[in-house]
Amino acid sequence: MGTPSAEQLTEISENGGEVVINLLSQKEMKDSEEAADVSLTGMAYSHVPINGADGVSVEKALEVGCEQGMTSLEAKVWSMLLK
């Protein structure tokens, strides 16, 4: 999908989307208005910079979940990610 446009973010929100998690690196975020666009839709926004596939980890996934108040899912997330 890539980075969604403002129109796509509105559509996501209108279809029940609640949270946008941006995994782009700081370099990739240059000139990005995504945080502002998400804010206009009323969805929550979290930016967790990941530098390629090596930057993805269970710990990062749980960090994002905790930031969004999803701590009750921690055990379930661990079990899904470690399969």
Please report whether residue 62 resides in a domain.
Answer: yes
Print the domain residue range for 34: 6-81
Give me the DSSP letters along the chain: --SPPHHHHHHHHHTT--EEEE---TTTTTT--HHHHHHHHT-EEEE----SGGG--HHHHHHHHHHTT-GGGHHHHHHHHT-
Is residue 31 situated within a structural domain? yes
Task: Give the pLDDT of residue 14.
Answer: 95
Number of domains in the chain: 1
42 located within any domain: yes
- With respect to residue 49, please indicate whether it lies within any of the assigned structural domains: yes
Say if pTM beats, i.e. exceeds, 0.85: no
**Residues 26-70: pLDDT tens digits?**
888 888 899 999 999 999 998 888 777 676 777 777 777 777 677
The answer to whether residue 68 sits within a structural domain is yes
In a domain, 67, yes or no: yes
- The answer to whether residue 1 is domain-embedded is no
